[in-house]
Structure 1
Amino acid sequence: MSTSTDSDLLRRIAAGDEAALRLLYERHAGWLLLRLNRRCGNAELVAGALQDTFVAVWQSAGRWRGEGEVAAWLWGISVRRLVSALRGRPAIDPLGEEIVDAATDLVQSAEDELLLGVEYGDVGRALRSLPPELREIVQATVIDGLTTKEAASLLGIPQGTVKSRLRVAKVRLRERLLPIRDGRI
């Protein structure tokens, strides 16, 4: 079973194979945990997001369309789970002071705010307006911090394609966001 591809594992998970889920976890949990920890300094939130990721995989493996890399799909689930966990956290008050949630003693970081803004703010709307092939490049390189080489490997496309799509995506995002900044929308 260890020679099975990630896509094969997802098909087996969709059929209820717990051993396949365990193997997929063993293959991907380490790097997912590392990347999530780079996005959020709270180990409990990160561990919860990772656990929620594999629960979601168990529940939705049958919806995997076989397009792109499984690792990219897993990362998308993981980062959304982290953002969801951050949603319940307190915000920065109007004076710019960090608000501590007395129940959990968590402080919201600038990176946490950025993740929330990307999902729900003007940037999120602009990102969602991009075609999927451009959006995944921006997510991999800008939001996730991958190099173009890493993004190419993760997405299964040539590095030159990553660079050209990123250039097009930046132009389109700039066109979409500058009118918002200048108050024209």
Structure 2
Amino acid sequence: MSAESRSDDQLLAALGKGDRDTLTVLYRRHAPWLLLRLSQRCGDEGVVDEVVQDTFVAVWRGAGRYRGDGSVPAWIWGIAIRRLIDQFRARRLATVPLSEGMGAAEPSAEEKVLLGVEHGDLAAALRQISPELRAVVRATILDGLTTREAARLLGIPVGTVKTRLVRARAALREELV
């Protein structure tokens, strides 16, 4: 079976076993949408390109740790958004004069939301819901995808996205009260 015809899960399994050629297939398959989505969150093309490269280096290094509890595109997006947050932090720290110290720069609204999703009450609540519900929340609410786009990304029917989103909202309400 050629690498091009393998599923994302099969490609990651092969990559985890040292088959580096599968990284090229994963890159060709996922880099275009990743560039587009990251460009919607950051206007600096250089930063976006660097984040995409860092993401695929992390995919290469972490393929053996992929648990398979969600879709591969959602896993890759999770890596990418964390890399983007790291870039925001690094850029903010680089622009703060040393005399002002670490806490002087006020994070942007998007940075605050992204940091809250990764480390705040919402992050704790998201960890408590099932991976399937979490993936739908990330795709539709946090990433701003339509239900059709989320369905395509997650490889599930549109109706399933809608149902999981209703269930996820109810579960998050329970967790955040």
Assess same fold via TM > 0.5.
yes
User: Which residue in the other structure is 1:46 paired with?
Assistant: 48
- Displacement of 1:123 after TM fit? 2.1
Distance in 2 (CA, whole Å) between partners of 1:41 and 1:107 is: 19
The alignment's TM-score, normalised by the length of structure 1, stands at: 0.77
Distance in 2 (CA, whole Å) between partners of 1:158 and 1:23 is: 25
Q: CA, structure 1 residues 120+68, in 2 after alignment: closer, same or farther (shift >3 Å)?
A: closer
State the percentage of identical aligned residues: 54
Distance in 2 (CA, whole Å) between partners of 1:44 and 1:157 is: 33
- The answer to whether residue 137 in structure 2 is matched with residue 138 in structure 1 is yes
User: Which residue in the other structure is 1:174 paired with?
Assistant: 173
Letter in 2 for 1:52: D
User: Which residue in the other structure is 2:80 paired with?
Assistant: 78
User: Which residue in the other structure is 1:163 paired with?
Assistant: 162
Q: CA, structure 1 residues 132+12, in 2 after alignment: closer, same or farther (shift >3 Å)?
A: closer
User: Which residue in the other structure is 2:122 paired with?
Assistant: 123
User: Which residue in the other structure is 2:28 paired with?
Assistant: 26
User: Which residue in the other structure is 1:111 paired with?
Assistant: 110
User: Which residue in the other structure is 1:96 paired with?
Assistant: none
CA RMSD of aligned residues (A): 2.7
Distance in 1 (CA, whole Å) between partners of 2:58 and 2:147 is: 28
Deviation >6 Å, runs of 4+: none
Aligned 8 A contact 2:70 2:132 in 1: no
Distance in 2 (CA, whole Å) between partners of 1:17 and 1:107 is: 44
Aligned residue for 1:39, secondary structure, equals coil
Distance in 1 (CA, whole Å) between partners of 2:68 and 2:131 is: 15
Q: Unpaired runs of 5+ in structure 2? A: 99-104
Aligned 8 A contact 1:39 1:112 in 2: no
Distance in 2 (CA, whole Å) between partners of 1:67 and 1:169 is: 16
Match of 2:14 among 12, 15, 34: 12
User: Which residue in the other structure is 1:97 paired with?
Assistant: none
Structure (1/2) with the larger helix percentage: 2
Q: CA, structure 1 residues 67+127, in 2 after alignment: closer, same or farther (shift >3 Å)?
A: closer
User: Which residue in the other structure is 1:94 paired with?
Assistant: none
Q: How many pairs are equivalent?
A: 169
